[in-house]
Amino acid sequence: MSGIVCIHCGYGRVRFVRHMTNTDKFTCPKCGKNTIVGRDNSPIIRRRHHPRRIPGQNLDCEGNLMTDGKIRFTAFNHQHKADKFLEALKENNYKQLDCTNGFGGIRFVLTDTDILGRRVRLEKIRAHGVQHFFVYPHAARPDLVNDIYKEWAFTTAHFVSAPGHVDVMRRFGYSRPLEVVGWSLCPIKKFSPRPEPRKVLFAPIHPRCSVDDQRVNRAAFQKLEKLARADKIELTVRFINSLPGSGLNRIEHPNIIYTNGAMNQSYTQIDEADIVVAHQSFLYLAVARGVPSISMATDLPTHVQMRRKPVVWARNWKKYEHLIAFPYDILQVKDRDLFDVMGEIVQCDEKVLDWKRRMIGSPFNKKRFVQKLEKYL
């Protein structure tokens, strides 16, 4: 890939063909036409980020004339978590651009996070003159990574799912504007009781986690394995990438099956389960879908471990731990029979109602989201 832009269609990844006397020839894999570029620092090279530009024209970063009145933006759609936000914007006279060739005409950026490598990219975009940066939820629970890494001073506003997320983030000192726009990861359903906790769906904390997470996975699995061996439950272990990466070994038993899941907010298996045992986002999805649920290690402080780096822990965990703690925790069931506790969970959600109101909230509201965003433009 050359970095040269096709002068015919504006595609930004034309391929080099050959050197000629005073020029270089490139071909476009999109439209099939050739672009000739001078090798003497001619003006055609300097205008490559604005294909076919005519003086006085107002072009966006894809070389389109901006005469339709639409507001341009670009987005980082991580694992399709921004889909509802993008739908709302496109229905309200906004146009999404991929900005392959620059950031001309872009009013704002929609991103799932503003830390680490993503922050580096946002800084580069800001250097091109873009001034507005909006964060949508990267995960189902409150954005606790900002209690680990310093917040970015140039985030315009941070959209959250429910009022409880605001309470948590203010507790650890997050200072950027927070706007509640509703739950966007799946349709919300009322609690649906089950006759018994027979079909158990266990979602270990996914790989690229610390040894602390792997210990949690093993401890939870050991409790569930005993119930499966006693023929009290049929256990489905939904893992990501590999079992060893989650700290687990495959145990062969007729009542235990394994399925390789994906990080795509799928809830089909959740809906089919009598009870879900999970942590963080998968737990939140299960509660949102009205499926009986039990968490694991709700008292384990939030932490991040990058590859070949030490674990970094949340600084203010004790200030908000009680706000996000789920009413049921499989690792805290010690004085009672676990199967009996699970039997109560599948029958009634009385103890979960307040948590669901604070952490799941109401469905995503497209109109409310657009109105809140436009306050800052």
Q: Write the pLDDT tens digit of every residue in 18-32.
A: 777 667 788 888 777
What pLDDT does 268 receive?
Answer: 93
Joined tokens for residue 296: 């694991």
Between CA 75 and CA 66 the distance in angstroms is 19
Give backbone dihedrals phi and psi of 356, rounded to 5 degrees, phi first.
-65, -40
Beta bridge partners of 73: 96, 108
User: Which helix (H) or strand (E) is 356 found in, with range?
Assistant: helix 353-359
Report the chain's mean pLDDT, rounded to a whole number. 88
Q: What is the dihedral of CA 252, 257, 262, 267, to 10 degrees?
A: -160
pTM of model > 0.75: yes
Give me the mean pLDDT over the 304-332 stretch: 91
- The better pLDDT of the pair 338, 52 is held by 338
pLDDT over threshold 60, residue 54: no
CA angle, 152 then 101 then 7, to 5°: 170
Backbone angles phi, psi at 89, to 5 degrees: -70, -45
Q: Scan for tokens 């079992």, then name that residue.
A: 243
Domains in the chain, CATH or no CATH each:
1-57 (no CATH), 71-187+364-374 (3.40.50), 199-352 (3.40.50)
The Cα–Cα gap between 196 and 174 comes to 42
Q: What integer pLDDT is reported at residue 34 of this predicted model? A: 81
Give pLDDT, residue 46: 35
Predicted pLDDT at 45: 35
Give 272-284 pLDDT, tens digit per residue.
999 999 998 999 9
> What mean pLDDT is predicted for residues 278-300?
95
Residue indicated by tokens 């999970």: 278
The pLDDT value given to residue 292 = 98
Share of the chain above pLDDT 90, in %: 67
Structure tokens at 293: 């649920």
* Residue showing tokens 């959209």: 159
Q: Residue 48: what pLDDT?
A: 39
What is the distance between the alpha carbons of residues 329 and 25, in angstroms, rounded to a whole number?
64
Q: What is the pLDDT of residues 97-124, one digit of tens each?
A: 988 777 888 999 999 999 988 999 999 9
Dig out the tokens for 290 from the structure. 């009205």
- Residue 39's pLDDT is 58
